[in-house]
């Protein structure tokens, strides 16, 4: 076999054998009709062999690579016994045995068996799925009543192959609560639940989804996720971790999702908005993306060292956000599992070499510090208002009697302009020289200089002259790009089903998980970049759907029958699809940190649901910033409505993230986070039990229970239950809370001073007209509601 890599057409995606049971089900005894390189063999070879026999030529042993057809030289198709590969892996011991003992890797029996069968069946290689452009596969046709849209056809085809039936549709009350959290990050109000339950039209749910997609809270919820990816934070991260100016960028992200800015434009504006002709303010704000990484002005920091650190950070993030690739591995050496070379890494770094910045910034040691270039901008709301006032002024100027009116308007305009805040932007300057740093060493001044370019094995960028960030962004968002769309739709899937079609949201490479539904993933990617479905009745009106349409994809997913399933597991589910890999039911998982906070605020009625603006500081324990310095920091919590804003606006201090957010697994945003872990710890329990912000929500809800909840204890309990959990309580649930209420009522009647203490926590006024013992006892009930597993679980 020659040394050129001959990539076959991407047969993996259409191969019917996919519907056979997957060997990766861990059930060795399951029969597999046909072994397939990409699905069955590549993961084994990648994990056990690529480290020495993979894409990294510099590290390759015996000049053998097994990630491409070059590996065919150790294989005799159809004849395992004559194949050197098979001979080596079946050696019991000795120097010929592969993998060698010192690698710490061993092949399991069933892995060896799979390799044997693969060779027996011909031993053909395939290019990696995530490097071939997605093609739109045929949608399976089931003629089954269950599917509501093509998504379901793909899911059903696989379930049928596994002899599984989908779970029944979730109860309406479960469904509305689920879709509210998923699309808005907030629970539905009891009135919204009631209206939905009463709506018996066949398309009631679709109408609900349409309405939610026009809510401004949609953008906030999507931003929560996007900000994790781009590692958005309000502070510089390194050393003194001072504040930097960036919150307008967050508002840009919220607005982009609300306006359904096509994802290709969203990408272009963030990476290269400054390079667009006559960029708008929004497009400049968007380029804050390039600046939101961690930076330093620590005393001994060297400019060149930190320029190299920022450069690598940007390549890691670019790779993680758009390409789902662990390119960061190639900073010091060629990637050992994927074909990225070290040179590829630095060619990507070279795209960012024109960004106007310093490695070691000048400071000062104050907070906020300075990170030029920055511009002063108005929030989107203020900008709209200023524009309206400007038009009024222009109109007034045409009138003869304009006197006081004009002066008043001009004064108003001046006041609005004062609300401008600074934000970091990208400015392009003469590109710095980028070298392929030997082992990533920033002091290297001798190695090869590189120009910007795509990874060598991918479609070239094809710019005239030196390629720019704009060329990079356009390359990423070309419809043939193998990664951008797949990576994004996989993550959308994760947002609505709890895990991706490929479980590894941050690694679509060789070491990543093979997707459970590759055809569906590709179909979604194609539908994202080139929509084929016509627009149904909906908020945006009929007609052709534009490309890279996020809301179109979201709607497709959340209106599918797959999404609408119950999460309740039958015994058959537990047996045949134990990890719910095939989406035979919905998933149940704890809400993200921000939603837990937002829900408590919303349910109590304290939530200030204003959109956008500077980041805010809710209460936190005193002394939490004691180890910060340059300058020393005293946290001053915001007052008034700003204490009650959604979590997405919380001041994000990288080195000391708010303890509530931390306890519920919000990331510090030093690196891209595509999937937050979900922990279940006593520290989280302590937050919900004792954090004054949650106690305040509880006692404010308590006052509403008394005032709005009806007369009897049972009525009030049922009312409160609906506020927190959307559904009506069962008898036993009411009884448990009634007992608690009665006991607390007595205790607080005997100790009114304690009742007064409890009901004075937080800044919200305590209604003076309510009996303090009664209020305290209902506060105890409300605390229980906020602590229930069901309350903080998306179902």
Interactions with other proteins, residue window 28-87 (CB under 8 A):
46
Helix axes 550-558, 204-213, angle to 10 degrees: 150
- In the bound state with other proteins, the residue whose beta carbon lies nearer, of 684 and 703, is 684
Q: Which one among 168, 403, 462, 578 touches other proteins, defined by CB under 8 A?
A: 578
Range 305-324, binding other proteins (CB under 8 A): 305
Q: Which one among 681, 707, 708, 710 touches other proteins, defined by CB under 8 A?
A: 681
Please give the structure tokens belonging to residue 767: 């209604």
Q: How far is the CB of 85 from other proteins (least distance, A)?
A: 22
Verify binding: residue 174, other proteins, rule CB under 8 A. Answer: no
Q: How far apart are CA 770 and CA 777, in angstroms?
A: 12
Q: How far is the CB of 531 from other proteins (least distance, A)?
A: 32
Q: Which one among 695, 702, 703, 717 touches other proteins, defined by CB under 8 A?
A: 695
Q: Which one among 259, 686, 710, 750 touches other proteins, defined by CB under 8 A?
A: 686
- In the bound state with other proteins, the residue whose beta carbon lies nearer, of 178 and 552, is 178
Q: How many residues sit close enough to other proteins to count as binding (CB under 8 A)?
A: 102
Verify binding: residue 26, other proteins, rule CB under 8 A. Answer: yes
- CA 185-188-193 angle, to 5 degrees, is 150
Q: How far is the CB of 225 from other proteins (least distance, A)?
A: 18
Q: How far is CA 154 from the centre of its chain?
A: 24
Verify binding: residue 671, other proteins, rule CB under 8 A. Answer: yes
Neighbours of 68 (CB within 10 A): 21
Q: Which one among 459, 574, 707, 746 touches other proteins, defined by CB under 8 A?
A: 574
CB contact burial 213-226 (16+ within 10 A = b; e otherwise): beeebbbbbbbbbb
Q: Which one among 302, 366, 391, 634 touches other proteins, defined by CB under 8 A?
A: 302
Residue in the block written with tokens 């089900």: 25
The DSSP output letter for 366 is S
Q: How far is the CB of 53 from other proteins (least distance, A)?
A: 17
Q: How far is the CB of 404 from other proteins (least distance, A)?
A: 54
Q: Which one among 2, 101, 543, 677 touches other proteins, defined by CB under 8 A?
A: 677
Query: Is 525 within 8 Å of 485 (Cβ atoms)?
Result: yes
Q: How far apart are CA 717 and CA 700, in angstroms?
A: 15
Q: How far apart are CA 700 and CA 765, in angstroms?
A: 9
**DSSP-derived 3-state class of residue 376:** strand
- In the bound state with other proteins, the residue whose beta carbon lies nearer, of 533 and 626, is 626
Q: How far is the CB of 761 from other proteins (least distance, A)?
A: 6
Range 82-111, binding other proteins (CB under 8 A): 104, 108
Q: Which one among 474, 551, 590, 745 touches other proteins, defined by CB under 8 A?
A: 590
- In the bound state with other proteins, the residue whose beta carbon lies nearer, of 395 and 443, is 443
Range 639-668, binding other proteins (CB under 8 A): 654-657, 659, 662-663, 665, 668
Could you give the string, one character per residue 324-353, with x where binding to other proteins holds by CB under 8 A and - elsewhere?
--x-xx-------x----------------
- In the bound state with other proteins, the residue whose beta carbon lies nearer, of 423 and 655, is 655
Query: Is 501 within 8 Å of 490 (Cβ atoms)?
Result: yes
Q: Which one among 12, 596, 684, 697 touches other proteins, defined by CB under 8 A?
A: 684
- CA 16-502-789 angle, to 5 degrees, is 125
- In the bound state with other proteins, the residue whose beta carbon lies nearer, of 272 and 784, is 784
Range 735-794, binding other proteins (CB under 8 A): 736-737, 739-740, 743-744, 747, 753-761, 776, 780, 783-784, 787-790
Q: How far is the CB of 163 from other proteins (least distance, A)?
A: 17
Which range, of 90-98, 253-261, 600-608, 671-679, touches other proteins by CB under 8 A? Answer: 671-679
- In the bound state with other proteins, the residue whose beta carbon lies nearer, of 470 and 595, is 595
- In the bound state with other proteins, the residue whose beta carbon lies nearer, of 409 and 654, is 654
Q: How far is the CB of 235 from other proteins (least distance, A)?
A: 10
Q: How far is the CB of 339 from other proteins (least distance, A)?
A: 14
Q: Which one among 6, 415, 678, 710 touches other proteins, defined by CB under 8 A?
A: 678
**DSSP-derived 3-state class of residue 749:** helix
Cα dist from 596 to 181, 466, 655, 675, 692, whole Å: 10, 48, 22, 17, 15
- In the bound state with other proteins, the residue whose beta carbon lies nearer, of 146 and 624, is 624
Could you give the string, one character per residue 129-168, with x where binding to other proteins holds by CB under 8 A and - elsewhere?
----------------------------------------
Residue in the block written with tokens 């591995």: 329
The maximal CA–CA distance of the chain, rounded, in angstroms, is 101
Cα dist from 280 to 275, 286, 292, 779, whole Å: 11, 10, 20, 50
Range 494-553, binding other proteins (CB under 8 A): 504, 506-507, 509-512
Q: How far is the CB of 506 from other proteins (least distance, A)?
A: 6
Query: Per this entry, what is the length of the chain?
Result: 795
Query: Is 247 within 8 Å of 609 (Cβ atoms)?
Result: no
Q: How far apart are CA 566 and CA 570, in angstroms?
A: 10
Verify binding: residue 391, other proteins, rule CB under 8 A. Answer: no
Which range, of 339-347, 427-435, 519-527, 620-628, touches other proteins by CB under 8 A? Answer: 620-628
Range 207-226, binding other proteins (CB under 8 A): none
Please give the structure tokens belonging to residue 622: 């005193």
Q: How far is CA 787 from the centre of its chain?
A: 25
Q: How far apart are CA 234 and CA 651, in angstroms?
A: 6
Torsion of CA 288, 289, 294, 296, to 10 degrees: -30
Q: Cα-flanking dihedrals φ and ψ of residue 295, to 5°?
A: -135, 170
- 555 preceded by a cis bond (ω within 30 of 0): no
Beta bridge partners of 169: 565
- CA 93-97-100 angle, to 5 degrees, is 100
- 633 preceded by a cis bond (ω within 30 of 0): no
The DSSP output letter for 134 is P
Cα dist from 211 to 180, 214, 540, 555, whole Å: 11, 5, 11, 11
The DSSP output letter for 446 is S
Range 371-390, binding other proteins (CB under 8 A): none
Q: How far is the CB of 732 from other proteins (least distance, A)?
A: 6
- In the bound state with other proteins, the residue whose beta carbon lies nearer, of 145 and 300, is 300
Q: How far is the CB of 210 from other proteins (least distance, A)?
A: 31
Q: Which one among 408, 536, 621, 710 touches other proteins, defined by CB under 8 A?
A: 621
Count Cβ atoms within 10 A of the Cβ of residue 391 and give its class: 0-12 exposed, 13-18 middle, 19 or more buried: exposed
Q: How far is the CB of 487 from other proteins (least distance, A)?
A: 14
- In the bound state with other proteins, the residue whose beta carbon lies nearer, of 302 and 532, is 302
- In the bound state with other proteins, the residue whose beta carbon lies nearer, of 175 and 777, is 777
Q: How far is the CB of 513 from other proteins (least distance, A)?
A: 9
Q: How far is the CB of 508 from other proteins (least distance, A)?
A: 10
Checking DSSP bridges between strand 421-424 and strand 589-590, what pairing results, if any? unpaired
**DSSP-derived 3-state class of residue 15:** coil
- In the bound state with other proteins, the residue whose beta carbon lies nearer, of 550 and 695, is 695
Count Cβ atoms within 10 A of the Cβ of residue 27 and give its class: 0-12 exposed, 13-18 middle, 19 or more buried: exposed
Q: Which one among 196, 238, 583, 649 touches other proteins, defined by CB under 8 A?
A: 238
């Amino acid at each position: 076999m020659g040394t050129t890599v001959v990539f076959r057409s991407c047969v993996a995606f259409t191969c019917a054998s996919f519907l056979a049971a997957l060997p990766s089900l861990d059930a060795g005894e399951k029969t597999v009709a046909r072994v397939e390189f990409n699905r069955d063999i590549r993961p084994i070879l990648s994990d056990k062999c690529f480290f020495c026999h993979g894409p990294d030529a510099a590290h390759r042993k015996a000049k053998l690579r097994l990630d491409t057809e070059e590996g065919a030289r150790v294989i005799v198709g159809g004849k395992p016994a004559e194949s050197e590969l098979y001979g080596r892996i079946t050696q019991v011991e000795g120097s010929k045995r592969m993998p060698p003992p010192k690698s710490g890797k061993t092949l399991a029996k069933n892995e060896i068996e799979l390799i044997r069968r693969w060779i027996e069946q011909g031993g053909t290689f395939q290019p990696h799925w995530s490097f071939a452009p997605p093609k739109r596969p045929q949608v399976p046709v089931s003629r089954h009543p269950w599917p509501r849209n093509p998504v379901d056809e793909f899911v059903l085809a696989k379930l049928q192959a596994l002899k599984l039936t989908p779970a029944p549709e979730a109860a309406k009350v479960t469904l509305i609560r689920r879709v509210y959290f998923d699309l808005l990050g907030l629970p539905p109000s009891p009135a919204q639940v009631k209206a939905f339950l009463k709506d018996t039209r066949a398309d009631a749910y679709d109408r609900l989804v349409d309405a939610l997609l026009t809510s401004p809270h949609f953008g906030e919820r999507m931003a929560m996720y996007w900000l994790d990816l781009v590692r958005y934070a309000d502070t510089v991260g390194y050393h003194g971790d001072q504040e930097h100016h960036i919150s307008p960028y967050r508002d840009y992200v919220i607005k982009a999702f609300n306006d359904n800015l096509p994802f290709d434009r969203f990408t272009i504006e963030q990476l290269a908005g400054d390079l667009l002709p006559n960029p708008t303010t929004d497009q400049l704000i968007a380029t804050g993306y390039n600046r939101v990484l961690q930076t330093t002005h620590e005393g001994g920091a060297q400019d060149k060292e930190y320029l190299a650190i920022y450069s690598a950070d940007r390549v890691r993030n670019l790779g993680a956000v758009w390409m789902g690739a662990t390119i960061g591995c190639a900073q010091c050496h060629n990637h050992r599992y994927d074909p990225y070379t070290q040179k590829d890494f630095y060619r990507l770094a070279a795209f960012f070499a024109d960004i106007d910045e310093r490695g070691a910034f000048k400071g000062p040691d104050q907070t906020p510090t300075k990170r030029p270039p920055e511009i002063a901008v108005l929030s989107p709301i203020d900008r709209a208002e200023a524009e309206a006032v400007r038009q009024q002024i222009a109109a007034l100027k045409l009138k003869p009697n304009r006197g006081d009116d004009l002066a008043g308007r001009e004064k108003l305009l001046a006041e609005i302009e004062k609300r401008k805040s600074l934000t970091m932007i990208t400015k392009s300057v003469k590109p710095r020289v980028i070298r392929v740093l030997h082992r990533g060493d920033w002091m290297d001044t001798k190695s090869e200089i590189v120009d910007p370019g795509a990874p060598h094995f991918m479609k070239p960028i094809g710019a005239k002259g030196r390629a720019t960030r704009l060329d990079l962004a356009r390359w990423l968002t070309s419809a043939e790009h193998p990664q951008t769309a797949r990576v994004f739709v996989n993550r959308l899937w994760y947002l609505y089903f709890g895990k991706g079609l490929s479980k590894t949201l941050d690694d679509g490479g060789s070491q990543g998980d093979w997707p459970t539904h590759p055809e569906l993933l590709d179909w979604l990617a194609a539908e994202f970049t080139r929509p084929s479905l016509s627009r149904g009745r909906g908020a945006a009106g009929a007609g052709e759907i534009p490309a890279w349409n996020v809301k179109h994809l979201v709607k497709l997913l959340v209106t599918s029958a797959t999404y609408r399933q119950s999460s309740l597991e039958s015994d058959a589910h537990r047996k045949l699809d134990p990890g719910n890999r095939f989406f035979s039911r919905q998933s149940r998982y704890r809400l993200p940190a921000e939603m837990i906070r937002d829900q408590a605020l919303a349910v109590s009625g304290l939530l200030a649901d204003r959109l956008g603006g500077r980041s805010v500081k809710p209460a936190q324990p005193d002394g939490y910033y004691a180890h910060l310095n340059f300058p020393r920091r005293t946290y001053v919590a915001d007052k008034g409505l700003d204490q009650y804003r959604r979590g997405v606006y919380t001041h994000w201090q990288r080195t000391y993230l708010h303890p509530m957010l931390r306890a519920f697994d919000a990331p510090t945003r030093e690196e891209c986070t595509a999937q937050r872990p979900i922990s279940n710890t006593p520290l989280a329990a302590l937050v919900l039990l004792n954090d004054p912000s949650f106690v305040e929500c509880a006692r404010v809800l308590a006052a509403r229970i008394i005032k709005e909840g009806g007369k009897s204890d049972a009525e009030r309990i049922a009312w409160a239950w609906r506020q927190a959990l959307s559904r009506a309580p069962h008898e036993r649930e009411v009884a448990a809370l009634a007992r608690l209420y009665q006991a607390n009522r007595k205790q607080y009647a005997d100790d009114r001073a304690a009742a007064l203490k409890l009901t004075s926590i937080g800044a919200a006024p305590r209604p003076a007209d309510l009996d303090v013992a009664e209020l305290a006892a209902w506060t105890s009930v409300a605390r229980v509601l906020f602590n229930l597993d069901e309350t903080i679980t998306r179902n």
